[in-house]
Chain A
Amino acid sequence: MSETYELAVIGAGPAGMEAAIAASEAGVKTVIIDGLPREGGQYYRKPSQAFTASRKTVVEKEGDLLAERLAGAPAVKIFNALTWGIFKEEKSEGWLVGLYGPDVPKWVHARTLVLANGAYDTPVAFPGWTLPGVITSGAALILVKSQGVAPGQRVLVTGSGPLLLSSAAHLIEAGVEVVGVCETTRLFPKGIIYAPTMLGQLHRLQEGMQYLSLLLRKKVPYRTGWSILEVHGKEHVEEAVIARVDSKGIPLAGSLRTERVDTVVCGFGLTPNTGLARMLGCRMEYQPQKGGWVPLRDSMLQTSLPGVYMAGDGAGICGAENARWEGRLAGTAIALLTGHLSNQEAGKIIQRVGPELARQRRFGRLLGELFSPNPGWISLARDETLLCRCEEVGLAEVKAAVADGARTLGEVKMVTRAGMGNCQGRMCERSVAGAIMQACLAEGATPESVGMYSIRPPLHPLPMDFLAEAGLEE
Chain B
Amino acid sequence: MRIKSFGSTLPEWQRGRSIQIQVDGKAIEAFEGETVAAALLASGIHTFRLSRKNKEPRGLFCGMGICYECLVTVNGTHAVQACLTPVAEGMQVETCREWEL
**A interface with B by C-beta (< 8 Å):** 35-37, 42, 47-57, 60, 120-121, 123, 130-136, 138-140, 142-145, 147-151, 153, 169-170, 172-175, 210-211, 214, 235-236, 273, 389-392, 421-423, 426-427, 461
Contact = CB atoms under 8 A, between A and B. Distances in A.
A235 B79 CA distance: 21
- Most chain A CB atoms below 10 A, which of B48, B56, B60: B60
B57 A389 contact: no
Interface in B1-38: 1-17, 31-35, 37-38
- Most chain A CB atoms below 10 A, which of B1, B9, B14, B37: B9
- Most chain B CB atoms below 10 A, which of A50, A172, A236, A461: A50
B63 A173 contact: no
A210 B7 CA distance: 13
B85 to A, nearest CB: 11
B41 to A, nearest CB: 6
A151 B1 CA distance: 7
Given A149-B42, A174-B3, A136 B12 contact: no
Contact of A423 (B1, B33, B42, B66): B66
Nearest to A211: B9
A272 B9 CA distance: 26
Contact of A53 (B4, B9, B12, B31): B12
Contact of A144 (B3, B54, B56): B3
A57 B10 contact: yes
Contact of B66 (A56, A120, A173): A120
A236 B57 contact: yes
B79 A461 contact: yes
Nearest to B55: A392
Contacts of B33: 47-51
A149 B2 contact: yes
In the A-B complex, the 9 residue pairs with the smallest Cβ-Cβ separation, listed nearest first, are A173-B7, A139-B63, A50-B16, A50-B33, A132-B59, A48-B33, A422-B68, A132-B46, A147-B38
A235 B67 contact: no
B63 to A, nearest CB: 3
B35 A147 contact: yes
B38 to A, nearest CB: 4
Contact of A47 (B2, B13, B56): B13
A47 B16 CA distance: 10
Interface string B57-73: 11111111111110000
23 contacts: A50-B17, A50-B31, A50-B33, A51-B15, A53-B11, A54-B14, A55-B11, A56-B12, A123-B62, A130-B56, A130-B58, A132-B57, A132-B59, A138-B63, A143-B41, A148-B2, A150-B3, A214-B9, A236-B59, A389-B51, A392-B53, A422-B68, A461-B79
Contacts of A132: 46-48, 57-60
B84 interface: yes
A214 B60 CA distance: 27
Contact of A169 (B9, B17, B52): B9
